[in-house]
Structure 1
Amino acid sequence: MERRKEAAQEEEEEKEDEYEEETVMVAVNANRGRGNNFEAVDWAIRRVVRPRNRLVILGVLCDVGWKTSCFPFHRGERCEAPVQAEVDPGELEQEITVKRAEYKISLQPFYQRCKRNKIKMEVKIAAGYCVRKITVEECRGRNMCWIVLDGDFNKHRTYIYGQVNCNVALVKAKDVVTLMPSKAKQKEISPETNRGDGIEPPINGMETGRLLEHADADEPHCQSCNWYPLSWRTGIPQLFTQTELEAITNGFPPESIIKDEDSIQTFGGFFHGMPVSVSRFSENDERFWSKLKILCQVRHRNILNLVGYGFSGGMFLLFDLPPMGTLQENLQGDDSAKRMTWKERWQIAAGIGACLRYLHEECVDGPIVHLSVCSNHVAYACGCFAMLANFRNARFVRDDHPHLTDPTTPSWQSLQRDNSLAIDVHDYGILLLQIITGKSGCSFNSGDVDLMDWALPAIENGYLDMVKDPRLSGGSDGMLVDHMAKAASLCLNDSQGRVSMTEVVAVVQGHRIAMLLLSDHVQKE
């Protein structure tokens, strides 16, 4: 009996040692004063640190005007006793003393949270001239699974990511995170039933069940008039374990598969009582990593944003599942199309145009091209609310220009004029025709003539009424239809890729200056 107890104890200790080998490092700018609220530390503890991990908080001091040649200087010790160390060289003593007092006050709440959840927390202070090299140096000799950087490390993240073999996250603001996942095979994380106070559980009050089937395939069924995306909530996207994903999908049964194509299985399920889809990728599918890198860095109300992801037992992406299907499905059904008034259709067009403008011109990490804009890739919810989905082919434009690394250079800014963006502009023009005519690519059938060849000449020759969806009466929204038609013409006649989404959206919205730009483009063509 004693031998069994000793063997069990040794096995438990071996397991603890194995977990201790996995380290999560949070690098923060130690030059910041008392206003440093350690958002990166808070995010790491809530989202990626697991029991028996080692959490290393690295405070980096730099650019403070010291002239000593003794850099880098490192000092680290356990958080149980707040930093108590004699500092050398002497020029650093005053700064380190101030920082020591700040950390003593600021980090104690995090230490208490870690202690309750069996997380070993360590604090290091490092000083030097090169922030990124200090951070990378501190990772050596450790089995790193995550490096979490605070927002001040933004310009160093590309270098750090290239030097390490683990996941890297940049916390720009509270729950606004840029994720750069490692392509190394992830170790399965054992779920903990009791994570303790202070660490938010991934699932609270979760309900499971099968998705409701549409009563009429021609008319998508709205499950709730108060539906709103899970991805709008704080703390999203989040990391899920295999056990949690199985609970969401009720065990991945074959009957819950809602799509199976291109080696990607998509299951229906429920999370927080809301319908979601869970896409399961094969182990070496590069599309998983490309989608994850993009979707973790975009945030827009008209984009079907990522709810969560998982590496345990496979590779998974979790999304909202809007209850009214796609825009294409609603245009195909006569009853649902009649309910989509011209004002609602215009709002859909303006929303999708705004999110394309965001992808092309407003993303801090450079332009993103979607490459699959169509009515079948627009998720539709109650109240004419539309979200661009299916980022399977999306990519950063900078990927075609690997020599550009500095976002402040004119060369980087010129990426917004890359010709690949014209593909999205053209596809958006086709989407506008689909909204105006009520015909999708699969429902339009006029012999050898496609939708563009049929509708565009009529619009340009002043016969818009001939191609407008006959299921809707004229009403008093003719001007809104005219704005969409002019924008479609602008997109589809842009053979040289000169038109930006800002100009297109302005035409959709009917801005007077945009109409002048439209005339100028027509003359140049």
Structure 2
Amino acid sequence: MGLGAADSSSTGETVMVVLDANRSRGNLHALEWALRHVVRRGHTVLVLGIFCKIGKRASCFPFHMGEKLERLGEGEVDPTDLKEEIAEKRDEYKSCLQPFYRHCKKNEVKLESKIAAGFCPRNVTVEEAQSCNTCWIILDSHLKKDKTYIYGHVGCNLALVKGKDVVTLMPSKVILQESSSLKHRRVDDGHLSNDPITDNQEGTSITPPPKNRNWYPLAWRTGFPRSFTQSELEVITSGFSKESIVQTLDNIHMYQGQFQETPVLVKCFSPNDEHFWSMLRILSRVRHRNILNIVGYCFAGSSMFLLFDFPFMGTLEINLQNNDLAEKIPWKARWYIAVEIGACLRYLHEECVDGPIVHLSVCSSHVIYPLGGSAMLANFMTAKCLKDSSPRDNQSLAHCLNLQEGDGIAIDVQGYGIFLLELITGRSARCFLDPNKEDLIDWALPAIEKGSLSEVRDPRLTDTTDDRFIDHMAQAALLCLHDLNRRISMSERIGRTMVVLIVLHLFRRE
């Protein structure tokens, strides 16, 4: 464990570590993670142990010398009985917790502990957080059900420690508001051109529709996604006119249109196209603010259709390929994009109800970059639901399960690392597809490894004020692209990456 140097913001701030005291010693992971990743000199670490159930002999609470026994509010539990129960486990934890105490004292961190017995964990946590200058709340895994309520009633950062180095991060609302205001500023302060992109542009790029400052995804609105009729699609696409076609790729025709005064993209699939069924099956299962989801679907005779929102800003790749647009995406904005897409991938891998989903083609050309909103992962043509064992009649079970979970997740982790390199260099990975030349990894990674970011960083961004953000992304890229042959989880790589991206920013801000 190591504590970073104090800054002006850490003095007087409190990091709360909230433990379910009725559970096992495993909840020490939350305290260990806090000391390793969050706590800085000048902080106060408040370990709040909550006994939801009293009198359970198997309970244990890892506090020792300097213990401060308190009851928060009026309850029905006798403090004497509670103290006797804790005393039974005190000696057991004394030897393993003394290093925490000594470590904090050595590094000028004040370690305190409190006990709450017989009360609702979420209410006690919120009450305690509001009574002091709390900058972080760290919950152990047994309080997972309370994290949403707690996060909604406090203004600080929150982390749920699911296991050793397996963490779900929920940034402070102040951080999220900075992200939103930054994205509005970077457009309002500049004049963005909607001319077709020509520099280094691939033939498959789609020119975004005219800009609309009030764009709000249809997929996020009540009543969507929904079923559409063919007559509705004919109105949207002007009768599937040639003028409405924006792209044809692998026998999939894409039409641009308007629905409820909002730009939409209509994808027309040929009969029995497995891409259609795969995308419909997956996108009907996921809901995340950083996923470009479907607006609707249609089965009409021999054709099948999927409708998507069509953000006017286009893909991140298009923006990075245009000098004027790329200059409007400073390092801080690129950092926010990295955090959002990282959170999206972690959701797909670890939090989907029906099991892990892998995207398999993470890159800047598949990230939508809307005005004043969140970056969104798009194009689920290659995505797979790893636990999907219900193949269609013309698809064998072996074909459904031919991708091992570790392989798919490793592909996404590597893809995310390459995506970070695209943000750092301002260059698309598709510009490095010549088999006779080095790829983006071979070109950029050696310079990052030896600390020579200046050799590969996007030269169009000359402001050095936010250089710390490029450093954070470079560290995260190294985590994702090292030891590619080792089977790893999204928690191990993306989890650490999210810590690098969020925690380093919080404690190195000016």
TM range (shorter): 0.5 to 0.7
- Structure 1 counterpart of 2:472: 483
Letter in 1 for 2:295: V
- Structure 1 counterpart of 2:201: none
| Identity fraction in percent | 54
Instruction: Pick from 355, 377, 385 the counterpart of residue 366 of structure 1.
Output: 355
Distance 1:257 1:370 in 2: 26
- Structure 2 counterpart of 1:340: 329
Deviation at 1:475, TM superposition (A): 2.6
Distance 1:500 1:273 in 2: 39
Deviation at 1:504, TM superposition (A): 2.2
Task: After superposition, give the CA deviation of every residue in 1:178-214 in whole Å (9 maximum; x if it has no partner).
Answer: xxxxxxxxxxxxxxxxxxxxxxxxxxxxxxxxxxx94
Residues 246, 501 of structure 1: alpha-carbon distance in 2 compared, 3 angstrom cutoff: farther
- Structure 1 counterpart of 2:385: 396
Deviation at 1:286, TM superposition (A): 1.6
Deviation at 1:513, TM superposition (A): 8.2
Task: After superposition, give the CA deviation of every residue in 1:281-335 in whole Å (9 maximum; x if it has no partner).
Answer: 1112121111100011111111101100011232100000010111111100000
Determine if contact 1:238/1:309 at 8 Å carries over to the other structure: yes
Q: Which moved more, 1:466-475 or 1:267-276?
A: 466-475
- Structure 2 counterpart of 1:35: none
Letter in 2 for 1:367: P
Deviation at 1:252, TM superposition (A): 0.4
Residues 264, 227 of structure 1: alpha-carbon distance in 2 compared, 3 angstrom cutoff: same
Instruction: Pick from 335, 341, 347 the counterpart of residue 352 of structure 1.
Output: 341
Letter in 2 for 1:268: Q
Determine if contact 1:357/1:501 at 8 Å carries over to the other structure: yes
RMSD value, Cα: 2.7
- Structure 2 counterpart of 1:497: 487
Instruction: Pick from 483, 497, 501 the counterpart of residue 507 of structure 1.
Output: 497
- Structure 1 counterpart of 2:406: 418
**Which has the higher relative contact order, 1 or 2, with Cα contacts under 8 A spaced 6 or more apart?**
2
Distance 1:358 1:416 in 2: 18
Residues 298, 497 of structure 1: alpha-carbon distance in 2 compared, 3 angstrom cutoff: same
Query: Within the alignment, does 1:215 sit opposite 2:195 as a pair?
Result: yes
- Structure 2 counterpart of 1:309: 297
SS of equivalent residue, structure 2 residue 459: coil
- Structure 2 counterpart of 1:323: 312
Q: Which runs of 5+ in 2 are unaligned?
A: 1-192, 199-206, 392-402, 506-510
Task: After superposition, give the CA deviation of every residue in 1:439-491 in whole Å (9 maximum; x if it has no partner).
Answer: 10233589711110111111111111221100001432122111111111111
- Structure 2 counterpart of 1:291: 279
Task: After superposition, give the CA deviation of every residue in 1:481-523 in whole Å (9 maximum; x if it has no partner).
Answer: 11111111111113212242564254345379899xxxxxxxx
- Structure 1 counterpart of 2:258: 270
Task: After superposition, give the CA deviation of every residue in 1:131-187 in whole Å (9 maximum; x if it has no partner).
Answer: xxxxxxxxxxxxxxxxxxxxxxxxxxxxxxxxxxxxxxxxxxxxxxxxxxxxxxxxx
Letter in 1 for 2:490: S
Deviation at 1:419, TM superposition (A): 2.7
Letter in 2 for 1:386: A
Distance 1:512 1:276 in 2: 33
- Structure 1 counterpart of 2:81: none
Deviation at 1:215, TM superposition (A): 2.9
Letter in 1 for 2:233: L
Residues 277, 221 of structure 1: alpha-carbon distance in 2 compared, 3 angstrom cutoff: closer
Residues 361, 464 of structure 1: alpha-carbon distance in 2 compared, 3 angstrom cutoff: same
Residues 445, 512 of structure 1: alpha-carbon distance in 2 compared, 3 angstrom cutoff: closer
Distance 1:510 1:416 in 2: 28
Instruction: Pick from 232, 235, 238 the counterpart of residue 250 of structure 1.
Output: 238
Q: Which runs of 5+ in 1 are unaligned?
A: 1-212, 403-414, 516-525
SS of equivalent residue, structure 2 residue 407: coil
SS of equivalent residue, structure 1 residue 340: coil
Distance 1:234 1:330 in 2: 30
Determine if contact 1:425/1:501 at 8 Å carries over to the other structure: no
- Structure 1 counterpart of 2:45: none
Task: After superposition, give the CA deviation of every residue in 1:258-278 in whole Å (9 maximum; x if it has no partner).
Answer: 110111111000011010000
- Structure 2 counterpart of 1:377: 366
Instruction: Pick from 437, 448, 451 the counterpart of residue 462 of structure 1.
Output: 451
Residues 501, 265 of structure 1: alpha-carbon distance in 2 compared, 3 angstrom cutoff: farther
Spell out the pairing of 1:226-245 with structure 2 (5 A cutoff): 226-245=214-233
SS of equivalent residue, structure 2 residue 474: helix
Determine if contact 2:209/2:263 at 8 Å carries over to the other structure: no
Residues 245, 445 of structure 1: alpha-carbon distance in 2 compared, 3 angstrom cutoff: closer
Determine if contact 1:263/1:282 at 8 Å carries over to the other structure: yes
Deviation at 1:380, TM superposition (A): 1.2
Determine if contact 1:222/1:382 at 8 Å carries over to the other structure: no
Residues 400, 422 of structure 1: alpha-carbon distance in 2 compared, 3 angstrom cutoff: farther
Spell out the pairing of 1:512-523 with structure 2 (5 A cutoff): none
Structure having the higher Rg: 1
Distance 1:246 1:353 in 2: 37
> TM-score normalized by structure 2?
0.53
SS of equivalent residue, structure 1 residue 510: helix
Deviation at 1:244, TM superposition (A): 0.8
> TM-score normalized by structure 1?
0.52
Residues 236, 384 of structure 1: alpha-carbon distance in 2 compared, 3 angstrom cutoff: closer
Deviation at 1:383, TM superposition (A): 3.1
Task: After superposition, give the CA deviation of every residue in 1:342-387 in whole Å (9 maximum; x if it has no partner).
Answer: 0111111111111111100010010001111111111111136311
Determine if contact 1:458/1:466 at 8 Å carries over to the other structure: yes
Residues 244, 384 of structure 1: alpha-carbon distance in 2 compared, 3 angstrom cutoff: closer
Task: After superposition, give the CA deviation of every residue in 1:18-52 in whole Å (9 maximum; x if it has no partner).
Answer: xxxxxxxxxxxxxxxxxxxxxxxxxxxxxxxxxxx
Determine if contact 1:246/1:252 at 8 Å carries over to the other structure: yes
